[in-house]
């Protein structure tokens, strides 16, 4: 996981790059990524439910990409606001994870 905090045009941004855990199912990896992101944001006074979030997901296969899209749609409901995109790109990932959330 990589975390970068920076300011641009007077606004604070947090960038998280999180990869799925090797050996876990795609479903579990998907849920785990959003759980890990929430845990990283909480100490900064931020959350997936109350701040604007931009997600970009890279999956090894269409099935992996579709699974994370389903989990993401459940994570961003109610007052949660997000802009998102998903890509199928095996070359973008290291050998281990099925997908990555940026």
Give the domain ranges of the chain: 20-101
For the chain, percent of residues with pLDDT exceeding 70: 84
Output the pLDDT for position 101: 52
Going by pLDDT thresholds of 50, 70 and 90, the confidence category of residue 5 is very high
Are the CB atoms for 99 and 21 separated by under 8 Å? no
**CB 64, CB 36: distance < 8 Å:** no
What number is the average pLDDT over the span 39-44? Answer: 95
Pairwise CA distance, residues 39 & 32, whole Å: 10
pLDDT at 39: 95
Regarding predicted confidence, which is higher, 101 or 78? 78
Other CB atoms closer than 10 Å to residue 71's CB: what's the count? Answer: 20
With residue 25 as reference, give the H or E element that holds it: none
- Report whether CATH 3.30.1330.40 matches the domain 20-101: yes
CA distance 16 to 55: 10
Reported as a pLDDT band with limits 50, 70 and 90, residue 93 is low
């Amino acid at each position: 996981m990589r975390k970068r905090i920076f300011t641009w045009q007077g606004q604070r941004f947090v960038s998280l790059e999180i990869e799925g855990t090797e050996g876990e199912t795609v479903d579990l990896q998907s849920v785990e990524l959003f759980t890990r992101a929430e845990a990283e944001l909480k100490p900064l006074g931020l959350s997936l439910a109350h701040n604007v979030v931009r997600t970009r997901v890279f999956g090894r296969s269409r099935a992996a990409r579709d699974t994370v899209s389903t989990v993401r749609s459940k994570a961003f409901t109610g007052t949660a606001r997000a802009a998102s995109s998903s890509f199928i790109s095996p070359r973008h990932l290291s050998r281990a994870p099925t997908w990555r959330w940026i």
